[in-house]
Amino acid sequence: MKKFFLKVLGGIIVLFIAYVAFLYFASYSEGIRAGRLVKFSHKGVIIKTWEGEISQGVSDAQIFVFSVEDKEKQVISDLQQFQGKFVKLHYFERFGKLFWLGDTKYFVTKVEEDNTINQYLND
């Protein structure tokens, strides 16, 4: 009976590790979104994650919420610099959420300032 219990417990642990590995490594989709960067913050009580929002519409009705992993130092620096400006975000979507990485399934890997829109608005 004890061996059976240990085998079942071992199987559950292996399945859990496989599930977490799948969520981390499997990319569901990838793409580019553009909009005005309206929010970027480092939030959390015990586990802090980088979270942001871009507005993709005229009336802020269409918001794209995203996360940035801690290892993406250049992306974090760029997003802090581009606050309030129009940006293009290169991202990938995970199949599910992992709470220690971020609040969303969307993770930004590269950010570019969208100078065409910023120049148009300044003219």
Residue 117 binned pLDDT confidence (cut-offs 50, 70, 90) = low
Q: Would you say residue 17 lies in a domain?
A: no
H or E element at residue 43: strand 27-43
Tell whether the torsion through CA atoms of 30, 33, 39 and 40 is positive or negative.
positive
Question: Taking a C-beta distance cutoff of 8 angstroms, is the pair 64, 56 a contact?
Answer: yes
For residue 48, the domain's CATH number is 2.40.50.140
The domain containing residue 69 runs over which residues? 27-122
Q: Would you say residue 5 lies in a domain?
A: no
Rounded to the nearest 10 degrees, how much is the dihedral formed by the CA atoms of 67, 43, 60, 77? -60
DSSP 101: T
Residue 106 binned pLDDT confidence (cut-offs 50, 70, 90) = very high
Helix (H, G, I), strand (E, B) or coil at 97: coil
**CA distances for 25 relative to 5, 45, 54, angstroms:** 30, 26, 25
Token pair 């148009």 is found at 120
H or E element at residue 42: strand 27-43
d(CA 43, CA 41): 6
pLDDT for residue 56 is more than 90: no
d(CA 105, CA 9): 29
pLDDT digits (tens, 9 = 90+) for 16-35: 999 888 877 888 899 999 99
Q: Would you say residue 97 lies in a domain?
A: yes
Q: What percent of the chain has pLDDT over 90?
A: 52
Query: How many domains are contained in the chain?
Result: 1
